[in-house]
Amino acid sequence: MKAHRLLIFSFACFMIAACRDDKITPQQLQGTYKGSFKSLNTASMTDRSGLLDGTAEIVISGNNYQGGSTAAQTSRGSYVIAGNEITFTDSLAHTANFNWSLLLNGTFKQSTKGDSLVWTKTLGTYNFIYTLKKQ
C-alpha cells in the first residue's frame, strides 16, 4: 500500500514539473548571445530562393538590446516580455533599400531548445528564426 501511494505521489510530482511553464524573464536574458538567423518561406519548402541564413549576435542590457543578423542591418532599441513572447522596438533610422522584416524588430515567440534560446516571428508564409546561445 505504501509503495502504491509513493508511486502515485511520484507520478503527480513528475506531471506538475512537466507541465510547469518556464517563462524567460528580462533578468535571465542579460548578456551576449551568438548563433544563427534563418528566414524560411513555409509555403514553398522546396524553393530555396526564400531562404536566408546568417550569423547573429545580440547584446542585452537592462531592457535594451543591440545587434541582429548578418542578413540585415543592426537593430538597437528596447524590448518587453509578455508570456512566451518578446517584442523588440528598433529605435534606429534605416535606409529603405532592404527587407525591413529582417530587422530584429516586432514580436517573436520565445522558447528554449536544449541550451539554446529560440525567437520565431511569422509574417505571412515567412518564419524569421533566431537560434542563440548565451556567451
CATH number at residue 122: 2.40.128.280
pTM: 0.76
Taking the CA atoms of the chain, what radius of gyration do you get in angstroms?
19
Check residue 9 and give its pLDDT.
Answer: 39
Question: Which residues on adjacent β-strands are paired with residue 35?
Answer: 56, 132
pLDDT of the residue at 40: 87
Virtual torsion, Cα 46, 126, 56, 110, nearest 10 deg: -120
pLDDT in tens, 10-20: 434 433 343 34
Mean pLDDT of 83-95: 93
Cα-based angle 26, 32, 34 (whole degrees, multiple of 5): 115
With respect to residue 6, please indicate whether it lies within any of the assigned structural domains.
no
Average pLDDT over residues 33-41: 92
Task: For the chain, give the mean pLDDT.
Answer: 81
Position 31 in a domain: yes
- Do 56 and 72 form a contact (C-beta atoms < 8 A)? no
Within a domain: 54: yes
Q: For residue 125, give the DSSP letter.
A: T
Q: Among residues of the chain, what percentage have pLDDT more than 90?
A: 50
Tell whether 66 is covered by a domain: yes
In a domain, 89, yes or no: yes
60 and 135 in contact (C-beta within 8 Å)? no
pLDDT tier for residue 1 given thresholds of 50, 70 and 90? low
- Report yes or no on 82 lying in a domain: yes
- Give residue 102's domain range: 23-134
* C-alpha distances in Å from residue 117, one per residue of 36, 84, 103: 11, 12, 18
Q: What is the pLDDT of residue 50?
A: 56
For residue 11, give the DSSP letter. Answer: H
Q: Please state whether beta strands 75-82 and 106-113 pair in parallel, antiparallel, or not at all (unpaired).
A: unpaired
Residue 119 lies in a domain: yes
Q: How many domains does the chain have?
A: 1
